[in-house]
């Protein structure tokens, strides 16, 4: 299960949570994690996660994201490449999504394009997204 309802909002999977970027915390760089990650603060750079990634309503993320399950309820600018992506009602995503399963709740804002995630093409999609961002700078 990608997300479940808790007190009227969705929350990420109950899988193992190894990393927390807390409220009022800013992290810049490349983050690689083998299990779950929860972002409540600010993050900029690149994020690779083999588990679930939860971006809460208080979070601001300017990064390319690659993961298994990505749950967004905050602000994200960048490309998202994951098996499953869920945008909850407070999500604000600007960027492209490559996924097999996309869920967008009423109230979420999404500006970009979405395309199916094809096996073995993540690196190609990451390279294409980086080139497009450089061209628009």
pLDDT surpassing 60 at residue 129: no
Q: Is residue 49 part of a domain?
A: yes
Range of the domain at 112: 3-126
The DSSP secondary structure of 77-116, one letter per residue, reads ES-EEEEEEEE-TT-EEES-EEEEEEEE-TT-EEES-EEE
User: Domain count of the chain?
Assistant: 1
Which band of pLDDT confidence, cut at 50, 70 and 90, is reported for residue 18? confident
Write out pLDDT tens, residues 49-86. Answer: 988 999 999 999 999 999 999 999 999 999 999 999 99
Q: Kindly state the average pLDDT of the residues 131-137.
A: 50
pLDDT of residue 59: 97
Give the span between the Cα atoms of 88 and 41, in whole angstroms: 17
Determine how β-strand 9-12 pairs with β-strand 3-6.
Answer: antiparallel
DSSP assignment, residue 50? S
Q: Is residue 30 part of a domain?
A: yes
Most confident of 9-23, 28-42, 112-126: 28-42
Q: Is residue 18 part of a domain?
A: yes
Q: Is residue 118 part of a domain?
A: yes
């Amino acid at each position: 299960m990608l997300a479940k309802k808790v007190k009227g909002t969705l929350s990420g999977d109950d899988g193992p949570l190894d990393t927390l970027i807390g409220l009022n915390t800013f992290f810049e760089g490349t983050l690689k994690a083998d299990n779950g990650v929860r972002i409540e603060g600010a993050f900029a750079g690149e994020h690779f996660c083999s588990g679930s990634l939860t971006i809460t309503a208080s979070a601001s993320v300017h990064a390319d994201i690659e993961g298994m399950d990505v749950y967004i309820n905050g602000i994200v600018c960048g490309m998202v490449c994951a098996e499953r992506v869920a945008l909850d009602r407070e999500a604000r995503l600007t960027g492209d999504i490559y996924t097999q399963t996309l869920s967008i709740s009423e109230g979420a804002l999404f500006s970009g394009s979405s395309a199916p995630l094809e096996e073995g093409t993540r690196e190609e999609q990451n390279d294409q997204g980086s080139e497009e961002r450089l061209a628009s700078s």
